Structure 1
Amino acid sequence: MTSSVLDQLREMTTVVADTGDIAAIKRLEPIDATTNPSLILKAAQMPEYADLIDAALGRVDRSGKSQDEIIEDAIDQIGVGVGSEILKIIPGRVSIEVDARLSFDTDAMIEKARKLVGLFDGMGVGRDRLLIKVAATWEGIRAAEVLEGEGINCNITLIFNFAQARASAEAGVFLISPFVGRILDWYKKTNPDTTYTAENDPGVLSVTEIYQYFKDNGFKTVVMGASFRNTGEIKALAGCDRLTISPALLDEMAEDNSDLPRQLEDKGATKTPGAKLDEKTFRWEMAADAMATEKLAEGIRGFAADSEKLEKIIADML
């Protein structure tokens, strides 16, 4: 009997769970897990996480702090609490996101990342089990470059075009997350009469281009496809370094016993990278790409909105 598509995928790709739902992670047994403000917001509203939230709030030092500072600390503690619980289940790493509202402030992102690493250290979690997520702005990539130099590995998220990926690799970032499904969403909305399949899915094609460029040029940065809309997109990227997948799609693949051929393969470096992308060129390539510009801004706004919702919930709890 043919093994499931999920089992076959695990033979060639590291499977990451795109959820903050600890019960789902226990059931699906991924290597790594990733969280974001939207997922943390959901967890904070689930009754089964009430004790975890209470424990996180209990760790907040309120002395001499304003209400806003206390709420900020509480949210950091909740993220660290959820991440620490996830790490008790998985053998690999958990990604924890820096507040999206800091996405254009390099120094603030560095400071926040150091704080999160320190909080995890207080919970007995070393930096070797963490990935700090920052948005793929020029400032975010520069922050990640500094953090990588301090031994704090980063996950550059909200990647929608090649310039973001290239700049991240040239900065020596540990991992990038190109958003497959959100790219497809934009093209479907822009071209409603076009039928997209795995073969012409613009999100799949983007990740394929990035993966091939990284391998051909010997970049060590891990490519982790994210934000999938269907299992066809996942199958089309079989062999990618990592794929972060929602529980619903993981379950669907676990029930699918069709054959899964490898699509991406690292055949070793054949080229030498040229000069690094500079800020001027990076910003122009982003401005010239309407999809990437719109989706990056939309992603930052979405995560920021969920952070604001979480702040209101925490304020009521406090």
Structure 2
Amino acid sequence: MDQLEQLKQITTVVADTGDIDAIRAFKPVDATTNPSLLLKASQDPKYAHLLDEARIWAEKQGGGSQELLNNMTDRLAVLIGKEILSIIPGRISTEVDARLSFDTQATINRARRLIDLYQEFEIPQDRVLIKIASTWEGIEAARVLEHDNIQCNLTLLFGFSQAMACADAGVFLISPFVGRILDWYKANYPDQDFSGNNDPGVESVTRIYNYYKANGYGTIVMGASFRNADEIRSLAGCDRLTISPALMQELESSDMPLHARLTADNCYSEDQPFSLSESKFRWMLNEDAMASTKLAEGIRNFAADQVKLESLLSQ
């Protein structure tokens, strides 16, 4: 049994791609998309008909120029999500526009709009996760949406304060970013060894996983943004891992034994749970230079790709 198949025995494998052919090949349970992945997919000629369909539908809705662009990009995200859901047995994660990351009500409205668009294709909301950046405003939006049975995937999660607030809000799933954490530490501490168990991204997900399990939180931990297959192997046993096609291919090419590194049984955490006020959350995030830097950077990058996607659609 290759390592990808071994991993599937102990962890739910999620495809981190908008490439439908890759999803068909690797047979994950769930899949995730984001503006960057949608932009990449939209530049592939085989998806041109989906761009045309999104554009025609949006033009029929009318409205101002920005509303037209919003409708185009949301419709495209749902069309690609619909195609993916025809292949996988589980859920698709579809992201709210990153430019709304600091507006709770606008995030709620856009999330409900995405769910409505999926339901137009008779796709029930329990097959969709709404991806939202793990800002204070995003987490509060998720609190409201979860209450309405719209389950959320809180993304761009780098710091422990974000994980604590998500659990407190009853978020369905979080996506702590492993590789981007490693990127920051390598850039800021170039002489240190961050290989193997010293990888700070792996350490972060392990800490969150143990905190959730030890304290009885039901929020699912899904490691994301991997830079190498060793990070994935080090988190084998985590609730879910979202993996790029290239790294799934690397795991598939190895038949070395793979064992669970994380297990829910007898987890221990030195971190004690407490509810975070907004001011405490912002202070803890501010004190974490890596998390605050990477969160802001991630939002800017997703927003930039959203603009590029709008430009592509408007042509």
Instruction: Provide the TM-score with structure 1 as the length reference.
Output: 0.96
Specify the alignment match of 1:75 in structure 2: 73
**Contact preservation (8 Å) 1:218, 1:269:** no
**Distance in structure 2 (CA, Å) of the matches to 1:181 and 1:222:** 19
Match 2:134 to one of 127, 133, 136: 136
Task: Determine the structure 2 residue equivalent to 1:285.
Answer: 284
Residue deviations 1:1-34 (CA, integer Å, cap 9, x gap): xx11111110100000000000100001000000
Counterpart in 2 of 1:121?
Answer: 119
Where in structure 2 are the equivalents of 1:265-276 lying within 5 Å?
265-267=263-265, 274-276=273-275
Per the alignment, residue 315 of structure 1 pairs with 314
* Partner residue in 1 for 2:259: 261
Query: Which residue in 2 is equivalent to 1:92?
Result: 90
Contact 2:62–2:68 (CA under 8 A) maintained in structure 1: no
RMSD: 1.4
Quick check: 269-278 or 60-69, which moved more?
269-278
- What's 2:230 paired with? 232
Instruction: Identify the range of structure 1 (179-188 vs 278-287) with the bigger mean alpha-carbon deviation.
Output: 278-287
More moved, 190-199 vs 78-87: 190-199
Residues 29-44 of structure 1 mapped to structure 2, 5 A cutoff:
29-44=27-42
1:174 corresponds to? 172
Partner residue of 2:100 out of 95, 99, 102: 102
Q: Which amino acid aligns with 2:299?
A: I
Q: Which amino acid aligns with 1:235?
A: R
Paired amino acid for 1:147: L
| Structure 1 contact 19–247 (Cα < 8 Å) conserved | yes
Q: What is the distance in 2 between the residues matched to 1:98 and 1:25?
A: 22
Q: CA deviation at 1:274?
A: 4.2
Amino acid at match of 2:72: A
CA spacing shift, 1:251–1:64, aligned 2, 3 Å: closer
| Mapped contact 2:164–2:273 kept (Cα < 8 A) | no
Contact 1:32 1:90 in 2 (8 A): yes
2:194 corresponds in structure 1 to 196
Q: Percent identity?
A: 56
Residues 259, 63 of structure 1: CA spacing in aligned structure 2 closer, same or farther, 3 A cutoff?
A: closer
Q: Secondary structure at the match of 2:196?
A: coil
Conservation of the 8 A alpha-carbon contact between 1:62 and 1:70 = no
Q: Using a 3 Å threshold, how does the CA distance of structure 1 residues 257 and 274 change in structure 2: closer, same or farther? A: closer
CA contact (8 A) 1:44 1:53 kept: yes
Q: Relative to structure 1, is the Cα distance of residues 250 and 274 closer, same or farther in structure 2, using a 3 angstrom cutoff?
A: closer
Q: Which residue of 2 aligns with 1:241?
A: 239
**Compared with structure 1, are the counterparts of its residues 250 and 270 closer, same or farther at alpha carbon in structure 2 (3 Å cutoff)?**
closer
After superposition, residues 12-23 of structure 1 pair within 5 angstroms as 12-23=10-21
Whole-Å Cα distance in 1 between the matches of residues 6 and 47 of structure 2?
33
Moved more, 134-143 or 51-60: 51-60
Partner of 1:164: 162
Find the residue that maps to 1:73 and give its secondary structure: helix
Q: Any unmatched runs of 5+ in structure 1?
A: none
Name which of 39, 45, 48 aligns with 1:47. 45
Distance 1:89 1:304 in 2: 28
C-alpha spacing 1:252/1:269, structure 2 compared with 1 (3 Å): closer
Cα distance in 1 for residues equivalent to 2:287 and 2:275: 19
Shift of 1:254: 0.2
SS of residue matched to 1:314: helix
Q: Where does structure 2 lack aligned partners over 5 or more consecutive residues?
A: none
Name the SS for the 2:13 alignment partner: strand
How many residues are paired up?
314
Aligned to 1:294: 293
SS at match of 1:257: coil
Q: Distance in 2 between matches of 1:171 and 1:292?
A: 19
Matched-pair contact (CA < 8 Å) for 1:180–1:227? yes
Letter in 1 for 2:4: L
Q: State the distance in 2 between where 1:314 and 1:11 align.
A: 40
1:307 partner letter: Q
Secondary structure (helix, strand or coil) at the match of 2:197 reads: coil
Give 3-state SS (helix, strand or coil) of 1:260's partner.
coil
Offset, 1:141:
0.2
Q: Letter of the aligned partner of 1:308 in structure 2?
A: V
Structure 1 residue 259: deviation in Å?
1.0
CA distance in 2 between partners of 1:187 and 1:207 (Å): 15
In structure 1, how many angstroms separate the alpha carbons of the residues matched to 2:199 and 2:267? 26
Please give the per-residue CA displacement for 1:130-160, whole angstroms capped at 9, x wherever unaligned: 0000000000000000000000000000000
CA shift, 1:183, in A, is: 0.1
User: How far is 1:268 from its partner?
Assistant: 5.8
